[in-house]
Amino acid sequence: MIQRQKGCNDIYGRDAKVWKYVDQVIDALMEKYNYNYIRTPIFEATELFHRGVGETTDIVTKESYDFVDKGGRNITLRPEGTAGVVRSYIENKMYGDPNQPVKVYYNGTMYRYERPQSGRDRELTQFGMEILGSDDPLSDAEIISAAVNLYKMLGLKEIKVNINSLGDNDSRAKYRDALVEYFKPHIKDFCEDCQERLNKNPLRILDCKVDKDNEYLKKAPKTLDYLNDESRDRFEKVQEFLDIMQIEYVIDPNIVRGLDYYNHTVFEIEAKVEGFGSNNVLGGGGRYNGLVNQLDGPDTPCVGFASGIGRLVKALELEKVNLPIVEDIDLFLMYVNDDEKKYAAYLSQELRLAGFIVDTEYTGRGLKGQFKQADRLNAKFTCVLNSEDLNNNEVKIKNNHTKEEEIISLDVLIYYLDEKINAGMSDEYEEGECQCHHDHESVECCHHGHSGCCHSHDE
């Protein structure tokens, strides 16, 4: 039997519905923030990631899926989303669009060759958002606020924002020199990777998972001590905007992020999730003002954020967040003979186009088996198509919750179902109460025009 590859997952059933719900919340939130969806190729020229992500990062040196295609081209399956977005920004000359800055988001598959473990897969789905063309500290705060609101909207609690600043190129260079001077006498006490990083990119030592408990690492110089006045002033403005937005945060000088392209603001967002252990980080990002120019585009200030969807879904599961997942259908159509089956095909088509969730029989089961299938699908209503009723332009409808049956004219069937389903929704949820895990008023409707299912909220 052929099995899935190590580090990859099949997502189906209720799990798939949870993933799709998260996608819907992301789409709704990005619409509110006026971000446009962008879809870039899953594979790109290897050079893009070596130049963009950085030659010294683990993603490039250890984790990237590289291959040579039939045309002799060096190709890499994308390990992260930002480099591809920047390549697209340059290639499509988005910098020339009068509508600036360019605000985009992506939600797609990435690939990293690493040891599979909880929350880390070789094939992963990542959501990210980028603002290209703004150096305003407000854009840093906006990216952070959008990420926080996403986690809150999904029902996660105790969201914590950790922020830091790497400063501009001058500040970062001084900090780099300070790290080299500090680590050099002690570098033999670190892993082989860190020994190589000392001269290539000493900031990566601070992000080492192997030496995270090393005492020398804990006492290393902090970025904030090497910020020049301009960088320090900029960081204070980011904090000011976060305060205005009422986004709580903690300044954490140990955050440096693992990718080479970051400067100025860097941040991570975590949630208190039982079962995650010491690492509760759900996503992170920061500013990368030099990346567009590094990839042969014009000087363009940028800021972005990314979050793994698999890890986010796992957090929702561990926290037992009650998501408004649709796990029932509106109507199950049943039949006995071929003429009734043909009418079931016609009627299911009409009702689906009218916006109802409808299913029917496909496996040749008798009526008893069809009733059981309707129960398995949690059908709100069932309808046994009877030739005699159909000749009278009627159908018999049964409410599966109340067990009441009514004979309805086919001419008013759509109106009847819409009224009954709306009434059922109103009875089940108090007016103004959101169907999902929120207590506040719902703001969007998602099914047949009835209110109560929130896809986005004013947080």
Of the candidate ranges 16-20, 115-119, 232-236, the one whose mean pLDDT is the lowest:
115-119
Q: How confident is the model at residue 124 (pLDDT cuts 50, 70, 90)?
A: very high
Residues 36 and 21 in one domain: yes
Specify if 240 maps to a domain: no
Residues 163 and 198 in one domain: no
What CATH number is attached to the domain comprising 262? 3.30.930.10
Residue 378: is its pLDDT beyond 50? yes
Specify if 255 maps to a domain: yes
Specify if 430 maps to a domain: no
pTM: 0.85
**pLDDT score for 58:** 63
Residues 64 and 154 in one domain: yes
Mean pLDDT of the chain: 87
Residues 142 and 186 in one domain: no
Question: How far apart, in whole angstroms, are the C-alpha atoms of residue 317 and residue 313?
Answer: 6
Specify if 323 maps to a domain: no
CA angle (357, 362, 364) in 5-degree steps: 140
**pLDDT score for 442:** 37
Question: How far apart, in whole angstroms, are the C-alpha atoms of residue 135 and residue 301?
Answer: 5
Residues 297 and 191 in one domain: no
Specify if 444 maps to a domain: no
Residues 162 and 194 in one domain: no
Specify if 418 maps to a domain: no
Residues 210 and 255 in one domain: no
Residue 355: is its pLDDT beyond 50? yes
Residues 71 and 136 in one domain: yes
In tens, the pLDDT along 15-65 reads 999 999 999 999 999 999 999 999 999 999 999 988 877 665 666 667 889
Residues 44 and 88 in one domain: yes
Specify if 421 maps to a domain: no
Q: How confident is the model at residue 114 (pLDDT cuts 50, 70, 90)?
A: confident
Domain residue limits at 379: 329-408
Residues 296 and 333 in one domain: no
Are the C-beta atoms of residues 236 and 243 closer than 8 Å to each other?
no
Residue with more model confidence, 396 or 54: 396
- Single out the residue in 178, 196, 227 at which a domain terminates: 227
In tens, the pLDDT along 405-452 reads 999 999 999 999 999 988 765 554 444 444 344 333 333 333 333 333
Question: How many separate domains does the chain show?
Answer: 3
Question: How far apart, in whole angstroms, are the C-alpha atoms of residue 14 and residue 11?
Answer: 9
Residues 82 and 218 in one domain: no
Residue 173: is its pLDDT beyond 90? no
DSSP string covering 99-158: S-SEEEEEEEEEE--S--BTTB-SEEEEEEEEEES---HHHHHHHHHHHHHHHHHTT--S
Specify if 440 maps to a domain: no
